[in-house]
């Protein structure tokens, strides 16, 4: 199979490329090597066996050329960052929505041999995860506002009776309640490509990824995911900053497990026309991530909870992975212990630049960081 990976120089795209090559497929990568992630340079890890094309997903002629001769497209070109998306609105909409619209338009109107399109969607599309209220049963709490969390009342509440509601796994049929511009763009990407499936018969599979971690997540991009940010903080001798009280949770999934699953779906078509959660199915508190990283790096740093709330963050969202398990035997294989140890080992051989204080200043200036306790 010949596969085009848009955003193929990125964190997840490059692991997918390695996995597809290992399985004997031909791979073409389209990537604009954006400054914030790559500093405009092709990363050293790019597989030599893949064909690399520098180009932007918003450039129709680049997409038409990149799609020539391929049988499957994995669409990973994307501006990534929940907090940053809240003020760089035009940029996130342009890259994520217009970029996907260009791809959709090319698939709908140009001649091609594409038999399958895969999009890694995002858990952020759900908004606050599902919860159980002792009085009202299963509920979907609203996103927390500054007033909600004032005085450290961090936990989401039942939208009906106002009691604290306990987090439970969220399944794919949950209503999408995107709470950030980034989430909105990921959700729109899903809808655009599902439309092309219905209208033009190009089968589409959407994998809603939860928090993916592993080597190659940029250690110098302060807008990246929490594990990479914590590692670059500790490497620079500073304590990780844990927002809220640190007991907010995320569902972490190892990038190698993601790459293997996406490859399997591209090969087999077992997910076609469907949407699937890809996650570990386990909730881990963010404070625990900071503590584990400091321990693995042998640094006696105690992460302090900031007591500040990053506007737009959800408190909890853990995946129900039963649909993926039943449909194509999905099984997360790498434990958090193994994964974090591997990630920390990798990070020690990498340059990193801790730009976190700058992003904190930026968030405060834009009043997106609320001090609540
Ligand atoms: C992340 C990804 C998003 C992906 C989604 C899927 C990034 C930037 N975001 O969003 O692309 O679609 O997972 O699940 O990679 N936190 C701290 N201290 C920090 C940084 C973060 O306490 O220095 C906390 C945040 O407040 C939040 C949690 O860690 O509670 C996770 O934050 P983050 O890594 O930015 O991820 P998501 O917003 O979950």
pLDDT digits (tens, 9 = 90+) for 253-273: 999 999 999 999 999 999 999
**310 in contact with ligand 1, CB cutoff 6 A:** yes
Q: Mutate which of 126, 225, 372 to test ligand 1's pocket (most atoms within 8 Å of Cβ)?
A: 225
**pLDDT score, position 135:** 98
pLDDT digits (tens, 9 = 90+) for 208-229: 999 999 999 999 888 899 999 9
pLDDT digits (tens, 9 = 90+) for 279-306: 999 999 999 999 999 999 999 888 888 8
**How many whole angstroms from 223 Cα to the centroid of ligand 1?**
9
State pTM to two decimals.
0.97
User: Is residue 115 predicted with pLDDT exceeding 80?
Assistant: yes
Structure tokens at 69: 């001769």
Q: Determine the Cα–Cα distance for residues 332 and 5; give it in Å rounded to an integer.
A: 23
Catalytic residue among 45, 87, 92, 182: 182
Q: Mutate which of 119, 149, 226, 290 to test ligand 1's pocket (most atoms within 8 Å of Cβ)?
A: 226
CATH T-level assignment (fold) for domain 2-130+169-371:
Rossmann fold (3.40.50)
**pLDDT score, position 228:** 96
User: Is residue 373 predicted with pLDDT exceeding 70?
Assistant: no
**In the annotation, is 223 catalytic?**
no
**How many whole angstroms from 109 Cα to the centroid of ligand 1?**
37
**pLDDT score, position 105:** 98
**pLDDT score, position 29:** 98
Structure tokens at 72: 């499957």
Relative orientation angle of helices 336-348 and 226-235, to the nearest 10 degrees: 50
**210 in contact with ligand 1, CB cutoff 6 A:** yes
Q: CATH 3.40.50.720 region(s) of the chain?
A: 2-130+169-371
**80 in contact with ligand 1, CB cutoff 6 A:** yes
Section 122-132 average pLDDT: 97
């Amino acid at each position: 199979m010949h596969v085009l990976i848009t955003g193929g120089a990125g964190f997840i795209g490059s692991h997918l490329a390695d996995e597809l090559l290992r399985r004997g497929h031909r791979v073409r990568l389209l990537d604009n090597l954006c400054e914030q992630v790559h500093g405009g340079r092709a990363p050293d890890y790019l597989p030599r066996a893949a064909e690399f094309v520098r180009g932007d997903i918003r450039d129709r002629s680049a997409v038409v050329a990149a799609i020539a001769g391929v049988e499957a497209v994995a669409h990973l070109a994307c501006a990534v960052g929940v907090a940053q998306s809240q003020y760089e609105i035009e940029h996130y909409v342009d890259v994520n929505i217009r970029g996907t619209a260009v791809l959709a338009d090319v698939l709908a109107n140009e001649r091609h041999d594409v038999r399958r399109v895969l999009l890694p969607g995002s858990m952020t599309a759900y908004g606050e995860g599902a919860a159980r209220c002792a009085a009202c049963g299963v509920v979907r709490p609203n996103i927390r506002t500054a007033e909600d969390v004032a005085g450290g009342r961090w936990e989401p509440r039942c939208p009906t009776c106002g009691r604290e509601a306990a987090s439970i796994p969220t399944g794919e049929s949950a209503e999408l309640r995107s709470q950030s511009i980034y989430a909105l763009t990921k959700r729109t990407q899903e809808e655009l490509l599902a439309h092309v499936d219905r209208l033009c018969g190009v089968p589409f599979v959407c994998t809603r990824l939860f928090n993916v971690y592993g080597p190659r997540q940029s250690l110098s991009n302060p807008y990246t995911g929490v594990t990479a940010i914590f590692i670059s903080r500790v490497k620079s001798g500073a304590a990780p900053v844990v927002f809220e009280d640190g007991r907010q949770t995320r569902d972490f999934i190892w990038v190698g497990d993601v790459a293997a699953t996406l490859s399997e779906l591209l090969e087999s078509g077992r997910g076609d026309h469907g949407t699937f959660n890809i996650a570990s199915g386990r909730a881990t508190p963010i404070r625990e991530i900071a503590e584990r990283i400091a321990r693995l790096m042998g640094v006696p740093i105690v992460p302090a909870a900031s007591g500040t709330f990053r506007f737009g963050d959800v408190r909890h969202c853990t995946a129900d992975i039963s649909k993926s398990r039943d449909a194509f035997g999905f099984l997360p294989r790498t434990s958090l212990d193994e994964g974090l140890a591997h990630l920390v080992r990798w990070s020690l051989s990498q340059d990193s630049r801790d730009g976190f204080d700058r992003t904190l200043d930026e968030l405060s200036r834009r009043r997106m960081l609320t001090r609540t306790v």
